Homo-oligomer: A and B are copies of this chain.
Amino acid sequence: MSAPPARSPRVGVWLIGARGSVATTVVAGCAALTAGLHRPTGLVTEGPAFAGSGLPALTSLVFGGHDTTDCPLPKRAEQLAAGGVLPPGLPTAVAAELAAADRDIRTGGPLPGDTRTAGELITAFTEDLRDFVRRHGLARAVVVNVASTEPAATGTALPPSSLYAAAALRAGCPYVNFTPSTGLHHPALAGLAASSGLPYAGRDGKTGQTLLRSALGPMFAQRALDVRAWSGTNLLGGGDGAVLADPAAAAAKNAGKERVLADTLGTVPEGEVHIDDVPALGDWKTAWDHIAFDGFLGTRMVLQTIWQGCDSALAAPLVLDLARLTARAHETGRAGPLTALSFYFKDPVGTAPAALADQYTALLRFAHALGDPE
């Protein structure tokens, strides 16, 4: 990334899971856009409605993060290009930016055999964050969790995602949870979050099947059609496929998917959601939905949808959107749950509409308010 104009303050984006597919696509993609190699397809905040919102420019973003693996970002990008996730040639074209971000990745935890206490881990992560801000002279840094989904928390111990969230709060960083992991949603962090004065957003980025459900559910409700059963199967092969094929890990994710139906239909239809790990699909996912509904006089009808998308390519621009919006929310003094960002999440914080169109309206209103902070 070339140096931003002198007056533009630099903003950090600290990615939990910084060596994963999503994070790699975020870093490579941002570099590709600022270099003019690609149009900003999928990036909502590059639309005209956000021109006056005062969002940090893409050129002002500085990337770093935590991860527990050690494959360098340039190599991860090559792997993604071989799998068709990144365009061929892109890893080479943005090799410098990938290497720069890689130098700002710190070892996360707990690692296997790690004997540090939760408190010690939080302290270490906080120090990594403060160091990142200090070294780059950042105006602020947003922490975004894009790590693989962790199993549902059991007991009262803080799961890793909550350790990182606690570190974000302690370092004074706004926090975005793009996964269904616990993060800030832990009782032990509620008081800290409230008193921190920081804005935060989440949970679980809405990238495919649930995005579609939040667009289609309202249609059935508006037309007074009676959805009897809504069944779905997801096939995916990236890291999340293996994790989510475990029912315990999938529970949080599926709760978000069901909430969308319940909230948009006003009722919970029959039907299950399956998440299958299919390594042959790599980072590509296929979601089949079968919706059995009754029409006039009880006539039975069916809608089926098949969504074939690339998980990282769907998630990455939303991560950039959220980092920019949350950074600006922080800059303008907003605190607490950013319910206006429900457009981006399966299971949004706070009280937010469930229909995609209403969420979009709320987002546009927020975009306007951000530009006119008084």
Q: Which residues of A contact B (CB under 8 A)?
A: 25, 28-29, 32, 38-44, 46-47, 81-82, 84-88, 90, 211-212, 215-216, 218-219, 222-226, 228-229, 231, 233, 235, 269-272, 274, 276, 278-281, 286, 288, 290, 292, 294-299, 301-310, 313-314, 316-317, 343, 355-358, 360
Taking a contact as CB atoms closer than 8 A, the residue among B43, B231, B288, B303 that contacts A290 in the complex is: B288
Q: How far is the CA of A86 from the CA of B47 in the complex (A)?
A: 35
Chain B residues lying within 8 Å of A32, measured Cβ to Cβ, are 297
Determine whether the beta carbon of B274 is less than 8 Å from that of A233.
yes
Q: How far is the CA of A212 from the CA of B41 in the complex (A)?
A: 23
Determine whether the beta carbon of B355 is less than 8 Å from that of A225.
no
Chain B residues lying within 8 Å of A216, measured Cβ to Cβ, are 212, 215-216
Interface of A is mostly: mixed
Q: How far is the CA of A294 from the CA of B43 in the complex (A)?
A: 12
Q: How far is the CA of A276 from the CA of B269 in the complex (A)?
A: 14
Given contacts A272-B276, A303-B308, 19 further A-B contacts (CB under 8 A): A38-B297, A40-B224, A41-B224, A43-B296, A44-B222, A85-B299, A87-B298, A88-B88, A215-B215, A218-B357, A233-B233, A270-B280, A288-B304, A296-B313, A296-B314, A301-B307, A301-B310, A303-B307, A304-B305
Name A288's closest neighbour in chain B (CB-CB).
B288
Chain B residues lying within 8 Å of A306, measured Cβ to Cβ, are 302-306
Q: How far is the CA of A286 from the CA of B308 in the complex (A)?
A: 13
Q: How far is the CA of A309 from the CA of B87 in the complex (A)?
A: 20
Question: Closest Cβ of chain B: how far from A130's Cβ, in Å?
Answer: 31
Determine whether the beta carbon of B290 is less than 8 Å from that of A219.
no
How many copies of this chain does one complex carry? 4
Question: Closest Cβ of chain B: how far from A290's Cβ, in Å?
Answer: 6
Question: Closest Cβ of chain B: how far from A78's Cβ, in Å?
Answer: 10
Q: How far is the CA of A295 from the CA of B223 in the complex (A)?
A: 30
Name A316's closest neighbour in chain B (CB-CB).
B296
Name A245's closest neighbour in chain B (CB-CB).
B272
- Pairs A–B under 8 Å by Cβ, sample size 25: A25-B297, A29-B296, A32-B297, A39-B298, A41-B295, A41-B296, A41-B297, A41-B298, A44-B223, A90-B297, A218-B357, A229-B280, A231-B233, A233-B233, A233-B274, A270-B280, A274-B274, A288-B290, A288-B304, A295-B314, A297-B313, A301-B309, A302-B307, A302-B309, A303-B308
Question: Closest Cβ of chain B: how far from A14's Cβ, in Å?
Answer: 20
Question: Closest Cβ of chain B: how far from A230's Cβ, in Å?
Answer: 10
Determine whether the beta carbon of A305 is less than 8 Å from that of B308.
no
